[in-house]
Amino acid sequence: MSELKQQPFVWQVRVYYEDTDAGGVVYHSRYLNFFERARTELLRARGIQHEALRQEHNLIWIVLDIQARFLQAAKMDDELLVSAELSWKKGVRRGFRQEMIRKSDGELVATAELSAALLFADSLKPARMPAWLEAELNNDK
């Protein structure tokens, strides 16, 4: 696997009532939503939009696996800084590393590591990354 060296992209999210359980703590699946949004915004910042990728190039991203660690509870009204960075590539798979930090105190709330791949949207078969897309991913704006 080759390692990639880029600055992490950071996206800010606020915890809303709908994100919490009865105790006012972020429900575990919402952390995955926040991580997903940060990855989507990372791609968007690099000029890659999911819908255009599907419509114009017949390509979609899928998550193959994810390892999440919940370290601190995020709560109602917390502002979270969610990072996303490409960490490795191997064949059609790309690795992402993510962190979620509470803005008010700098505490690490959660981490995630995952692998994702491109598929052809019409057949759902693995697709090699086109050179233009690789260049956009490596464009650390």
Nearest-angstrom CA–CA distance, 83 and 129: 23
The mean predicted confidence, pLDDT, of the chain is: 93
Please state the pTM of the whole predicted model: 0.90
Question: Does residue 105 carry a catalytic annotation?
Answer: no
Residue-wise pLDDT for 89-125, tens only, equals 998 899 999 999 999 999 999 999 999 999 999 999 9
**Which amino acid makes up residue 93?**
R
Distance from CA of residue 32 to its chain's centroid?
9
pLDDT band for position 21 (cuts 50, 70, 90): very high
- Give the pLDDT confidence score for residue 105 in this predicted structure: 97
Cβ contact 63:119 at 8 Å: no
Q: Is the pLDDT of residue 141 over 90?
A: no
The fold for domain 2-124 equals Thiol Ester Dehydrase; Chain A (3.10.129)
Measuring CA to CA, which residue among 69, 74, 71 is closest to residue 26? Answer: 74
Give the model's confidence band at 69: pLDDT under 50 very low, under 70 low, under 90 confident, else very high: very high
CA distances from 50 to 71, 73, 108, 111, 140 (A): 30, 31, 29, 24, 18
pLDDT tens per residue across span 71-89 = 999 999 999 999 999 999 9
Cα dihedral across residues 45, 132, 58, 86: positive or negative: negative
Tell me which of 21, 65, 77, 105 is the catalytic residue. Answer: 21
